[in-house]
Amino acid sequence: MITLLKYEIYRRWKWLVIRYAALIILGLIFFNRASASPMQYNIIAESMGKFFLISIVVFAIIIIEGINMLKEDLFEQSGYLTFTIPRKGRTILFSKLTLLFLQLSIWTIISIGFGSMFFSKFPYQEISRITAQIDFSFYPTILFILTAFFNFVLMVHLSLTLTKTLLVNKKYSSLLSIGIFFLLAYLIENFYYGPFLNQIKYAYIEIGTSSASNIDLLSGGYTAVFLNIILTIIFFTATAYLLENKINI
Amino acid sequence: MEFNNCSPIYLQIIDSIKQDVVVGKLKTGQKMPSVRELAGKIKVNPNTIQRVYQELEREKITFTKRGMGTYLTDEEKIIKLLEEEISDKIIQEFINGMNKLGFSNDKIIGILQEYL
Amino acid sequence: MEYILTTKQLSKYFYQKKALEKVDINIEKGKIYGILGPNGGGKSTLLKLAAGLLKPSGGEITIDNKNPGVYTKSIVSYLPETNYFYKWMRIKDALNFFNDLYIDFDMENAGKSIEFMKLEEKEKITNLSKGMLGRLKLALALSRNAKLYLLDEPLNGIDPVSREKIITSILDAFNKKSTIIICSHLIYYIEKLLDYIFFLSEGQIILEGETENLRNERRISIDKLYQEVFQ
């Protein structure tokens, strides 16, 4: 696994360095601007907003790259190399997901780091007022979002892999992958998260909170994160099994 | 050595080696190239060369010295036999060819006498 | 008899197409086999099944008595028809990759092969011509000490000089402990290398036999025989 991870990193190391260096450097530049104008909250907010946009772009790049890591090997000729090396499907998949995980972690640390730095430029009362309104539990939400995106990539991987077990030519594979993806999304929404959301609704109603009407996954707290992790394991196991035993390259 | 692919290659190689022996291209008692060497030289499957050497050994044209390789025989008797075998073959082919053209055996003798 | 590769009623279907139909093959160790036939006849499919890239639709295939999997991939050296290198690699990276992932890879030998094939380690894969790629693939595939070599059309798109080098390399790599299977429709150049041949067409074996016996019986070259059989 380490060997494969080494090559996944080695092949794109320049891009990785540029990506995070740019994020950090731009973060510093924008933070500098924010610091240079204390109490001018519109400038501070603008700098923060710009940094936020850039970090979203980097996040999107990480996610798309994460998807392509497997997509290439399944649908390009490089698959002939990847799937004839003496490694199990789960090892190949795990090495790619490890890089994705590492990148998400680095991204999170940098973004939250700069995020806190920007927030510290706002007066404390302002921040408390905002967070109180949103009813926002920070860490579970962040974790939930991260695990949700990780699962998104894995779900795409599973769709692509399923496609590759059913079709060998490239012709209708995009269509089929998209179809399978939405099918999985539907199934998970209704049969996996669905029951869970209902449970939360009942719990809130019982406690007598008025916010029972707009319960979503973000109010699920650590339990929702736990559900995501279970889902990760399910997706990983299924994809690894298919990669090892069922795909036709 | 040039071979065609229309008849068993191992037989062609054996014939070629026999001819080389008779003609003197291969010296009696000479060390033969190893299976791999010969295979690489004439671009032929080593198993084929193996078969060649087995056959040559069977006909006592070569012998193997344990741990040292394969050598051409230096027994006069065997070389003589080879000479006969090859000349017989050539003569037989000649006669067959001439017969095919319509020459009877008597006519062949006459022509030869004139020619030589 | 120890077989390195066996198939029993092996079938592979793609939609309407029967790529292989109940094929039975036994491959003995220490020999060079040729699987010959027209394009689309099933040769590549058979090799891909042995390499573990395709899964059988029916029947079975075993290598060294094991189903295709991690173990068989470690003892099989597969040379595909396509350019399967990662686009970001230089030749040097490809060598290191093979060295890192295959225990039986001979790095020293590979370096010599690369030189022999007139290739340079610092070249980018994307800059290589078709001929150079063919030579590189072969240099890597034969630098492994595998039990089974599967060469799919190793001579395609290769110029005459490189062709001779490739044939020489194949002969050098061959030993009694390994087995080589070559798929090709350029029979003229490789038939001297083959111990045994299969003619595979439309997913079935229509003829097989020891090369020398076939020459003896039919008094023609395998090349001519192929032309006769496939008109």
State whether residue B97 sits within 8 Å of chain C by CB: no
End-of-domain residue from the set A105, A134, A163 = A134
B103 vs C118: which has the higher pLDDT = C118
Q: Are residues A6 and A119 in the same domain?
A: yes
Tell me the CA distances in angstroms from C91 to A72, C96, C140, C218, one per residue in order: 20, 9, 10, 45
Dihedral, CA atoms, B14, B15, B18, B24, nearest 10 degrees? -120
Residue A192 — very low, low, confident or very high, per pLDDT cuts 50/70/90?
A: confident
Q: What is the C-alpha separation between A85 and C146, in angstroms, rounded?
A: 13
In the numeric block, which tokens belong to residue A145?
């979002």
Contacts of C70 in chain A (CB under 8 A): 86-88
A139 and A32 in a common domain? no
DSSP-derived letter for residue C105 is: B
CA C126 from chain center: how many Å?
Answer: 23
Is residue A224 very low, low, confident or very high in pLDDT (cuts 50, 70, 90)? Answer: confident
Confidence of residue A39 (pLDDT cuts 50, 70, 90): confident
> Measured between alpha carbons, how far is A221 from A139 in angstroms, rounded to an integer?
9
Q: Which of A134, A149, A168 is the last residue of a domain?
A: A134
Question: What residue in C sits closest to A9 (Cα-Cα)?
Answer: C88
Q: Which member of B7, B40, B48 has the closest CB to residue C219?
A: B7
Partners of residue B38 in chain C, C-beta under 8 Å: none
Top pLDDT among A194 and A248 is at A248
The SS3 assignment for A104 reads: helix
Q: Which residues from B are below 8 Å from C213, CB to CB?
A: 8
Instruction: Summarize pLDDT for B51-110 with one digit per residue, the tens.
Output: 999 999 999 889 888 888 889 888 888 888 888 888 888 889 888 888 888 888 888 888
Condensed to tens digits (0 to 9), the pLDDT of residues B29-43 reads: 889 999 999 999 999
Q: Which of C14, C69, C83 sits opposite A168 (nearest CB)?
A: C14
Q: What share of chain B is helix, strand, coil (3-state, %, to 5)?
A: 65, 10, 30
Q: Which of B6, B39, B44 sits opposite C215 (nearest CB)?
A: B6
Query: What pLDDT is stored for residue C40 in this prediction?
Result: 86
C–B contact: 3+ Cβ pairs < 8 A? yes
Does the pLDDT value for residue A197 go beyond 90? no
**Alpha carbons C80 and A77: distance in angstroms, whole number:** 10
Query: Which one of A2, A3, A85 makes the best mutation probe of the C interface by having the most chain C beta carbons within 10 Å?
Result: A85
**C contacts of B41 (beta carbons < 8 Å):** none
d(CA A98, CA A107): 14
pLDDT band with cut points at 50, 70 and 90 for residue A230: very high
- Both A11 and A74 in a single domain? yes
Higher pLDDT, residue B91 or C22: C22
User: Best mutation site among C12, C18, C82 for testing chain A: the one with the most A CBs within 10 Å?
Assistant: C82
Supply the pLDDT for residue A207: 64
Average pLDDT over residues C191-200: 96
Mean pLDDT to the nearest integer, C12-33: 94
- Sorting pLDDT into bands at 50, 70 and 90, what band is A138? confident
> By the CB < 8 Å criterion, does C171 face chain B?
yes
**Is residue B73 within 8 Å of residue B79, measured between CB atoms?**
yes
A and B adjacent (3 or more CB pairs under 8 angstroms): no
Per-residue pLDDT at C35: 97
Residue C187 belongs to what H/E stretch? Answer: helix C187-190
Q: Is C222 on the interface with B (CB under 8 A)?
A: yes
Asked if residue A3 has pLDDT above 60, the reply is: yes
Domains in chain A: how many in total? 2
H/E element, B90: helix B76-101
State residue B106's pLDDT score. Answer: 87
Q: Across chain C, what does the average pLDDT equal?
A: 94
**B9/C216 CB distance under 8 A:** no
Whether residue C219 lies within 8 A of chain B, CB to CB, comes out as: yes
Strand B69-72 relative to strand C58-63, pairing: unpaired
Minimum mean pLDDT range among A213-227, B69-83, C176-190: A213-227
The pLDDT of residue A45 is 86
- CB contacts, 8 Å: C84 with chain A: 77-81
**At residue A216, does pLDDT exceed 70?**
no
Q: Which of residues 30-49 of B touch C (CB under 8 A)?
A: 39-40, 43-48
Residues A34 and A68 in one domain: yes
- Arithmetic mean of pLDDT, C61-73: 97
**Contact, A239 vs A157, CB < 8 A?**
yes
Q: Residues C171, B43: contact at Cβ < 8 Å?
A: yes
CATH class held by domain B9-115: mainly alpha
CA dihedral B73, B77, B82, B85 (to 10 degrees): -160
Q: Helix A13-36 crosses helix A2-10 at what angle (to 10 degrees)? A: 60
Look up residue A54 and give its amino acid. Answer: I
List, in order of start, the domains of chain C with CATH numbers: 3-230 (3.40.50.300)
Signed CA dihedral, C19, C23, C29, C34: sign only:
negative
Residue A198 pLDDT > 80, yes or no? no
**Lowest-confidence segment of A15-29, A96-110, A154-168, A195-209 by average pLDDT:** A195-209
pLDDT band at residue A129 using 50, 70 and 90 as cut-offs: confident
Q: Which secondary-structure segment (H or E) carries B10? A: helix B9-23
Q: Which two tokens stand for residue C56?
A: 């059988």
Are A50 and A88 found together in one domain? yes
Per-residue pLDDT, averaged over B2-8, amounts to 89
Helix and strand numbers, DSSP H then E, in chain C: 9, 9
Nearest CA in chain C to A81: C84
A128, A211: one domain:
no
Task: Read off the tokens for C228.
Answer: 């006769």
Residues A65 and A153 in one domain: no
User: A37 pLDDT band (50/70/90 cuts)?
Assistant: confident
pTM of the model: 0.90
Segments in chain A forming alpha helices (H) = 2-10, 13-36, 41-75, 79-82, 89-119, 124-134, 138-166, 173-187, 194-207, 221-245
The answer on A120 and A39 residing in a single domain is yes
What's residue C65's pLDDT? 96
Over residues C209-221, mean pLDDT: 94
Range of the domain at A240: 135-249
If asked whether residues A204 and A248 sit together in one domain, one would say yes
Distance of alpha carbon C231 from alpha carbon A230, whole angstroms? 60
> Is C195 close to B47, i.e. CB distance below 8 A?
yes
pLDDT for residue C11 is more than 70? yes
* Cβ-count burial A52-87 (b if 16+ within 10 Å, e if not): bebbeebbeebbebbbebbbebbbbbbbbbbbbbbb
Question: Looking at A134, A156, A177, which one is the last position of a domain?
Answer: A134
CB contact residues (below 8 A), chain C span 59-98, against chain B: none
**A17-26, A149-158, A221-230: least confidently modelled range:** A221-230
Q: What percent of chain A has pLDDT over 70?
A: 90
Q: Are strands C17-28 and C3-14 parallel, antiparallel or unpaired?
A: antiparallel
Query: Residue C148: what are its φ and ψ, rounded to 5°?
Result: -140, 125
Q: Residues of B with CB below 8 A from C32's CB?
A: 45, 47
